[in-house]
Amino acid sequence: MSYILETRDLTQVYGAGTPFERTALDHVNIQVEKGEILGVIGHTGSGKSTLIQHFNGLLKPTSGEVLLSGHSIWDAKGKCDRKTRFAVGLVFQYPEYQLFEETIAKDIAFGPQNMGLSATEVEKRVREAMDFVGLDPALANHSPFALSGGQKRRVAIAGVIAMRPQVLILDEPTAGLDPAGRDEILAQIQDYHARSGATILIVSHSMEDIARMADRLLVMNRAHVMLCGTPREVFAHADEIARAGLDIPEITKVIRELNRRGIELDPSIYTVEDAVRAIRAYKEGK
């Protein structure tokens, strides 16, 4: 099988040869399938943020390889292919702090303009990106700094979407938002995925946020891949995840407690809907 993204023994060492030497990634091997939503989870310092910066060449590996569609993103001279930066779009945490243009349209247009596209194509992509993230077209000539926090984040995400990346990576896209804002952003990401078919990676420290929408979860711990699989496969290791200091969905905690009390249910359940069905089946089977 060919993968859209792949790492082979990817290693990143910061401060090599100094008293501050730290290994952020240690021989990491992962494969990302085209068109999937992959949730990347881990506590602070687990290596997840370092990992995603390798996918579009922001960091050069200490050793190992990063492949995009089967080809290394670094050439023989040690340079990252410029096309990689457009093919893999990265939205950093709190991206609204990176807004700088006087209007929303100009901010979103910055990436496509740097791709050398015509003015007509850039304008088309700005409109398309605003639609994807649910921004009213009437706001195009308004200042992005007059928007709410959630709207600013949409503008920042639209600026990356406008480049039509094959892979969209979002680092903690719901950080700092209230529950309503968080749900809106996640819904917009799901809608964008359904309409574009792009591969999406979502980085989070919270499994609750992304377990429902991810096809697979990648759990990072201490510079290594701890677990990788479907949400059900990952949450079957709930005890191991908890020992690593990571949280699990509240409903999974409830199921684990019921199991401890003698009510045997599937310990990998991670949604309320599945829990309701399992409890009903248990009661009917008694």
| 137-155 residue pLDDT tens | 999 999 999 998 888 999 9
Task: Mark whether 55 and 173 lie in a shared domain.
Answer: yes
| R_g (Cα) of the chain, nearest Å | 21
**Which ranges in the chain belong to alpha helices (H)?**
48-55, 82-87, 104-114, 119-132, 149-161, 179-196, 207-210, 231-235, 238-243, 250-260, 272-285
- Please determine, for residue 285, whether its predicted confidence score (pLDDT) is greater than 80: no
Average pLDDT over residues 37-66: 93
Task: Mark whether 31 and 68 lie in a shared domain.
Answer: yes
Across the beta sheet with 167-171, the strand order is 88-91, 167-171, 199-204, 37-41, 216-221, 224-229
Task: Mark whether 167 and 235 lie in a shared domain.
Answer: yes
Q: Residue 175's pLDDT is what?
A: 85
Average pLDDT over residues 110-119: 95
Q: Residue 214's pLDDT is what?
A: 94
- Please determine, for residue 87, whether its predicted confidence score (pLDDT) is greater than 90: yes
Choose among 112, 87, 230: nearest CA to 168: 87
Report d(CA 21, CA 16) in Å as an integer: 5
Task: Mark whether 216 and 269 lie in a shared domain.
Answer: no
Position with higher pLDDT, 181 vs 56: 56
Q: How confident is the model at residue 286 (pLDDT cuts 50, 70, 90)?
A: low
Which tokens belong to 81?
Answer: 């292919």
Task: Mark whether 173 and 273 lie in a shared domain.
Answer: no
Q: How confident is the model at residue 208 (pLDDT cuts 50, 70, 90)?
A: confident
Q: How confident is the model at residue 282 (pLDDT cuts 50, 70, 90)?
A: confident
CATH code, domain with 107 = 3.40.50.300
Position with higher pLDDT, 284 vs 25: 25
Task: Mark whether 33 and 82 lie in a shared domain.
Answer: yes
Task: Mark whether 257 and 230 lie in a shared domain.
Answer: no
DSSP 8-state class, residue 76: T
Q: Residue 1's pLDDT is what?
A: 58
Task: Mark whether 286 and 184 lie in a shared domain.
Answer: no
- Please determine, for residue 69, whether its predicted confidence score (pLDDT) is greater than 70: yes
Number of domains making up the chain: 2
Q: What percent of the chain has pLDDT over 70?
A: 99
46-55, 72-81, 202-211: segment of lowest average pLDDT: 202-211
Report d(CA 218, CA 210) in Å as an integer: 11
Task: Assign 33 to helix, strand or coil.
Answer: coil
Task: Mark whether 257 and 236 lie in a shared domain.
Answer: no
| 243-271 residue pLDDT tens | 888 888 888 889 989 999 999 999 889 88
- The average confidence (pLDDT) of the chain is 91
Q: What is the extent of the structural domain holding 110? A: 5-244
